[in-house]
Structure 1
Amino acid sequence: MVQATQFRGSASGKAIQTSAELPDIKPDEVLLKVTDSGLCGSDLHFLNLSLVLGHEGVGIVEQIGSACSRLKVGDRVGWGLVNSTCDTCDMCISGRDAYCHNIKMYGTEGFDTQGSICSHAVRKEQWLFKVPDSMPSADAAPLMCGGGTVWVPLVEQCKTYERVGIVGIGGLGHLAIQFAAKMGCDVVVFSSTEDKRDEALKLGANEFYATKGVSDYANLGVAKPIDRLLITSSAKFNLGLFYPVLARNASIIPLSVDSGDLTAPYMPTVVNGNSIVGSCISSRYPQNKMIDFAARHKIHSIVERYPMTLEGVTQALDRLQSGKMRYRGLISWN
């Protein structure tokens, strides 16, 4: 039995520190010593629940179950939202297991101990990903959710010769810019103000446009129409704002987590043949390819570091809630 230190949400919406004895691992499970956890914007949705926070983990394998075959003790691995899938439904056998009908994932009933802001965790080997030796944990942790979220639409929807627009430079956006640029896309960034222009260009953007105060985006002066538009910002707006700068048959891909409805103009969508495409978290196959690509191309996560203490976790969450995090929080034991 392992006594784990855990940082959980609570009814007050504040993080609390607890201790729990983890059960013995099952044959297909792995015991992990957590070293780092990324902090994702969607973590804020779980603050009022009594579950272990975080879902962008990196840790060291301490024990493996008898049925495990891919990992060994001492391996450094990462994990995200998903803990297990059935491997038998149409989604699983076609490589789209993130859409499994029987998916078990962070935040769902019965999985209150599956977080990453803790000292130890038990996970299914099935959804653990080896982290390359060349990749620092500070880069790896945000890739476990944020990286996979932007990677899938880029590789599935965007061709290397297309103009890819990225709305927002934050936890998702700064990764999307790097991936798209390394893929060879013509990267165009939209942000509310000029503050992040230089950083966007350094990350790989070819063009930058500030949108605050502009009511008609036809006046932004965009050089050529955008083929694919990834919306990484958490701000809600009528998608029609961007229609003046989109190419015919353009795709709009919203990626942030929110409730409510998407709003778009009906006839311009139909006449222009535009598509609004939903994209879930990454399945296992593209996730592994993303990690390899990021290591080879030196994709870096821009993080703010916090210690894995109650004070550190609280500071990180407060910073994230204030909207001032740049761009991903990293909570570490070291």
Structure 2
Amino acid sequence: MDGETRTYLAGTPSGALERQTATIELGALEVLIRITHSGVCGTDAHDRTASCGLGHEGVGVIHRMECISGYRQYCHKSVGQKYGAEDHGTFCDYAIRHQDFVNPIPDGLPSKYAAPLVCAGITVYEALQAAEVKSSDRVGVVGLGGLGHIALLYAKAMGCDVSVFSASEKKWEDALALGANEFHVLNTTGKASEPLDVYSKVNVLLLCGGAITDYGILLPLLARRARVVPVIIQTKDITVPYMPFILPGMKIIFSLGATRENEQNALKFADRHKIRPWIQEYPMTVDGLNSAFAGLDDGSMRYRAVLSKELGNEFSV
């Protein structure tokens, strides 16, 4: 495949999706992966007008690699660190990645379930580790969507009781089916006429839903010395009531992505505890990706979209 054409799906300024091609050579410290599945993340929907290749939750089979002996300093292709390499996403036939950014998928974890875990899964796993969660903790999850439902699965597998807080009462049955111990409707606008009646205060609260700007609405949910971990990206500033957070010893911990160690641990943990995200599968085609985006846009997705070449594709394999 060195120097040969690769095909991928890209966004355009109008938001329409296009099949595009590129020629990229395999570098000394890179691996060539034949993509079989790719999750569709909310950031892919945001980037569909950015004129770039889409997808970052790719799973596949290693097709070729270089410098497998480990003596990379003697490799005839060694040119030092490679900067500015084009990345055409994972909605594609083949993807090239640096060896340090590729993680093995455990044998017992099917690829279609692994795809959402290589972004959403490792993100919530890292957040739980950053909060130093213990099995005796009660974990709260705000927002039962693509990110929040995986946070619930991981926290339950860690032995925690989990309370789900959602703006939609319709999510109640899903929350219980996923293993939640409690479910509450939370008005994140802060305009609720009555205080939220929470049976059990939470020790760790993961913010996995929409933007929350006033952290004062979280206070009724929190036990003393609780840890709040935002795991969403928002552009709006937040307001934190100073003394109500200081006096009970609250902590706000910011967590983004995951360490390489936790990336691998998150996948191993999911394999060991049979964590299976709720997914909807689509063919890896323009129509398939448009359908997945439509489900994300109208809120009907339950709960992660996965493009699968097993259902059809527009690429030569």
Residue 246 of structure 2 aligns with an amino acid whose one-letter code is V
Q: Secondary structure at the match of 1:272?
A: coil
Report the counterpart of residue 204 of structure 2 in structure 1: 228
Q: Give the CA deviation at 1:234.
A: 2.1
Contact 1:178–1:204, Cα closer than 8 Å, also in 2: yes
Report the counterpart of residue 56 of structure 2 in structure 1: 55
In structure 2, do the counterparts of structure 1 residues 177 and 250 end up closer, same or farther at CA, with 3 Å as the change threshold?
A: same
Q: How does 1:143-292 map to 2 (within 5 A)?
A: 143-157=117-131, 158-212=133-187, 215=191, 219-292=195-268
Report the counterpart of residue 10 of structure 2 in structure 1: 8
Whole-Å Cα distance in 1 between the matches of residues 234 and 301 of structure 2? 18
Q: Secondary structure at the match of 2:212?
A: coil
Provide Cα deviations, 1:170-224, integer angstroms capped at 9, x if missing partner.
Answer: 1111111111011111211111122121221221211111124984597332122
Q: Secondary structure at the match of 1:177?
A: helix
Give the unaligned 5+ runs of structure 2: 71-79, 311-317
Report the counterpart of residue 329 of structure 1 in structure 2: 305
Q: Secondary structure at the match of 1:129?
A: coil
Task: Single out whichever of 188-197 and 50-59 deviates more from structure 2.
Answer: 188-197
In structure 2, do the counterparts of structure 1 residues 305 and 68 end up closer, same or farther at CA, with 3 Å as the change threshold?
A: farther
Report the counterpart of residue 275 of structure 2 in structure 1: 299
Whole-Å Cα distance in 2 between the matches of residues 143 and 47 of structure 1? 21
TM-score, normalised via structure 2 length: 0.87
Contact 1:167–1:232, Cα closer than 8 Å, also in 2: yes
In structure 2, do the counterparts of structure 1 residues 294 and 155 end up closer, same or farther at CA, with 3 Å as the change threshold?
A: same
Report the counterpart of residue 20 of structure 1 in structure 2: 22
Contact 1:37–1:116, Cα closer than 8 Å, also in 2: yes
Contact 2:137–2:204, Cα closer than 8 Å, also in 1: yes
Q: Considering only aligned residues, what root-mean-square deviation do their CA atoms show, in Å?
A: 2.2
Report the counterpart of residue 317 of structure 1 in structure 2: 293
Whole-Å Cα distance in 2 between the matches of residues 184 and 297 of structure 1? 11
In structure 2, do the counterparts of structure 1 residues 218 and 164 end up closer, same or farther at CA, with 3 Å as the change threshold?
A: farther
Whole-Å Cα distance in 2 between the matches of residues 216 and 38 of structure 1? 36
Task: Single out whichever of 254-263 and 182-191 deviates more from structure 2.
Answer: 254-263
Residue 326 of structure 1 aligns with an amino acid whose one-letter code is R
Give the unaligned 5+ runs of structure 1: 70-85, 87-101
Task: Single out whichever of 310-319 and 129-138 deviates more from structure 2.
Answer: 310-319
Whole-Å Cα distance in 2 between the matches of residues 208 and 141 of structure 1? 27
Whole-Å Cα distance in 2 between the matches of residues 17 and 110 of structure 1? 22
Contact 2:8–2:88, Cα closer than 8 Å, also in 1: no
Q: How does 1:119-138 map to 2 (within 5 A)?
A: 119-138=93-112
The 4+ residue runs of structure 1 with deviation greater than 4 A are 212-218
Whole-Å Cα distance in 1 between the matches of residues 292 and 221 of structure 2? 37
Whole-Å Cα distance in 2 between the matches of residues 248 and 313 of structure 1? 44
Q: Secondary structure at the match of 1:240?
A: helix
Paired residues in the alignment total 297
Provide Cα deviations, 1:140-191, integer angstroms capped at 9, x if missing partner.
Answer: 0000000011001212311110111000111111111111011111211111
Contact 2:38–2:307, Cα closer than 8 Å, also in 1: yes
TM-score, normalised via structure 1 length: 0.83
Q: Secondary structure at the match of 2:49?
A: coil
Q: Which structure: larger Rg?
A: 2
Q: Secondary structure at the match of 1:130?
A: coil
Contact 1:68–1:125, Cα closer than 8 Å, also in 2: no
Whole-Å Cα distance in 2 between the matches of residues 208 and 214 of structure 1? 18
Contact 2:190–2:214, Cα closer than 8 Å, also in 1: no
Q: Give the CA deviation at 1:6.
A: 0.7
Report the counterpart of residue 99 of structure 1 in structure 2: none
